[in-house]
């Protein structure tokens, strides 16, 4: 049934994937079709069985096919909800034949399955008991300064009265904005409390700015790879992402100029400091050039400064916004990655019409913020405890970073690539050619090790030979054990 046209340049498993995807798209393999077993197909195509298994694992990861235990592997409809579509508690018959009104069945999801799965996993947190949590995206929750946070919380509850439990609308709690203005000025960014709008975290800030600036069809420049949450926002806004590859200084200047010259982008989204997922730091010179380009081409820049506080000693340039002469940089930060995820507090520096538009948009999406959390955070920050906390986690994460580098060196086969970072929480690791990251992911999960698959960090997820590994939230001994498991699995695939 299936024939391959070996081109010599593409690995066999990739050819199987492409052929099956084409057959499914063309309708030759309609939803529900039972695919040949991996053994059967391997025989038919004269390839090794592991090649077919890898191809099937990839296709299953992107939601194109589904393995149903003993009964075989089936082609899925274009989109299937990951959960049985019916009420729990209903009979299996009802589960098999769910009836939803037509307006529901017509819903077209804007999400990408690969990204969705990675984000779902990333957000479960690192405290899953059976897993070494390299997938998690933030810091080690066990290092949260609980005593100081508890003290700040009680201080607010006991002294601020009912106002502490009310709404905090508009730009947010003034003393919090006051603290942030001072903090930002210390970082080289000239902002007053009035220039700061408190949001529900950086993800919300990205969504607010996208809703304010983007129309369907607009183009957005990002680093490639980049933060999948931003890619989800841009996809939901109907925007097209133009990914610019990175070199040692940040976004490649020639490619950036080319995109600005020919694509008329409406926004540049960048993570200049400890880029997510690569950890790259855009150089001061490039920051200057980026701001000049924004001014020249009239394109605003969103600076996602998500984890500036975690650094390993090397000097880093001031925020991009510090190089901004005209108001082209929208600077965003938050407290999820380097303090407490449950706060749900971020901030954005914006002036003029943009500021007014963001305040209105924030009100539209959730009316107001939590006075309790904003007051507690302000009290905590004013106590000075955060400076000690940031120094402490930087020291501990730096050690874990060293341990992970050593473990990668010891356990990963030749052909793997990574480089150390000067801050942040993650490493970006390239596995040797031919290793299916989706298959590796499933095997690693079975062995109790989680990581974030690289594909999710690209605008067009496909097999990408990368893993994002969080070193910050895992104990040193666990890091070595987890990397050993991963290295062993990678070597197995390479040897096969």
Q: Report, in Å, the least distance between residue 437 CB and its own copies.
A: 22
Closer Cβ to its own copies, 354 or 447, answer by number: 354
Closer Cβ to its own copies, 220 or 489, answer by number: 220
Q: Report, in Å, the least distance between residue 167 CB and its own copies.
A: 5
Closer Cβ to its own copies, 92 or 352, answer by number: 352
Q: Report, in Å, the least distance between residue 392 CB and its own copies.
A: 15
Closer Cβ to its own copies, 86 or 415, answer by number: 86
Q: Report, in Å, the least distance between residue 204 CB and its own copies.
A: 4
Closer Cβ to its own copies, 140 or 416, answer by number: 140
Edge-to-edge strand ranges of the sheet holding 65-67: 34-35, 73-75, 65-67
Q: Report, in Å, the least distance between residue 76 CB and its own copies.
A: 14
Q: Report, in Å, the least distance between residue 92 CB and its own copies.
A: 15
Closer Cβ to its own copies, 1 or 93, answer by number: 93
Q: Report, in Å, the least distance between residue 382 CB and its own copies.
A: 19
Structure tokens belonging to residue 112: 């990408």
Closer Cβ to its own copies, 431 or 456, answer by number: 456
Q: Report, in Å, the least distance between residue 363 CB and its own copies.
A: 6
Closer Cβ to its own copies, 150 or 460, answer by number: 150
């Amino acid at each position: 049934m299936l024939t391959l046209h070996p081109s010599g340049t593409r690995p066999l498993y990739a050819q199987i994937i492409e052929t099956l995807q084409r057959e499914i798209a063309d309708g030759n393999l309609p939803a529900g079709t039972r695919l040949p077993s991996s053994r059967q197909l391997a025989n038919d195509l004269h390839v090794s069985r592991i090649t077919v298994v890898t191809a099937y694992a990839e296709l299953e990861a992107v939601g194109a096919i589904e393995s149903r235990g003993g009964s075989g592997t089936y082609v899925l409809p274009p989109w299937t909800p990951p959960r049985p579509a019916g009420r729990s508690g209903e009979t299996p018959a009802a589960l098999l034949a769910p009836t939803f009104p037509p307006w529901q069945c017509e819903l077209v999801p804007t999400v990408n399955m690969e990204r969705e799965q990675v984000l779902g996993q990333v957000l479960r947190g690192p405290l899953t008991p059976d897993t070494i949590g390299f997938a998690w995206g933030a810091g080690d929750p066990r290092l949260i300064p609980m005593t100081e946070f508890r003290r700040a919380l009680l201080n607010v509850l006991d002294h601020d009265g009912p106002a502490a439990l009310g709404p905090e609308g508009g730009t947010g709690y003034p003393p919090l904005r006051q603290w942030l203005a001072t903090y930002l000025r210390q970082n080289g960014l000239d902002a007053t409390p009035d220039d700061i709008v408190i949001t529900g975290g950086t993800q919300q800030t990205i969504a607010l700015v996208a809703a304010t600036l983007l129309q369907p069809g607009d183009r957005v420049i990002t680093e490639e790879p980049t933060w999948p949450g931003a890619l989800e926002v841009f996809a939901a806004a109907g925007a097209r992402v133009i990914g610019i590859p990175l070199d040692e200084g940040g976004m490649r200047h020639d490619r950036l100029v080319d995109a600005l010259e020919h694509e008329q982008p409406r926004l540049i989204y960048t993570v200049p400091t400890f880029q997510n997922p690569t950890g790259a730091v855009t150089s001061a010179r490039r920051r200057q050039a980026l701001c000049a380009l924004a001014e020249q081409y009239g394109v605003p820049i969103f600076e996602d400064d998500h984890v500036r506080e975690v650094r390993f000693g090397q000097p880093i340039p001031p925020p991009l916004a510090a190089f901004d002469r005209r108001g082209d940089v929208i600077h965003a930060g938050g407290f999820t990655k380097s303090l407490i995820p449950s706060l749900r507090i971020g901030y954005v520096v914006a002036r003029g019409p943009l500021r007014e538009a963001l305040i209105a948009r924030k009100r539209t999406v959730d009316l107001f913020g939590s006075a309790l959390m904003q007051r507690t955070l302000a009290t905590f920050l004013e106590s000075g405890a955060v400076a000690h906390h940031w120094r402490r986690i930087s020291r501990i994460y730096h050690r874990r970073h060293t341990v992970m580098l050593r473990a990668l060196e010891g356990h990963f086969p030749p052909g793997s690539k990574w480089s150390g970072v000067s801050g942040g929480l993650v490493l970006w690791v390239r596995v040797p050619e031919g290793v299916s990251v989706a298959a590796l992911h499933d095997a690693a999960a079975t062995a109790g090790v989680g990581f974030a698959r690289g594909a999710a960090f690209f605008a067009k997820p496909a097999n990408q030979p990368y893993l994002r590994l969080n070193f910050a939230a895992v104990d040193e001994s666990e890091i070595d054990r987890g990397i050993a498991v991963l290295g062993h699995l990678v070597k197995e695939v390479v040897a096969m």
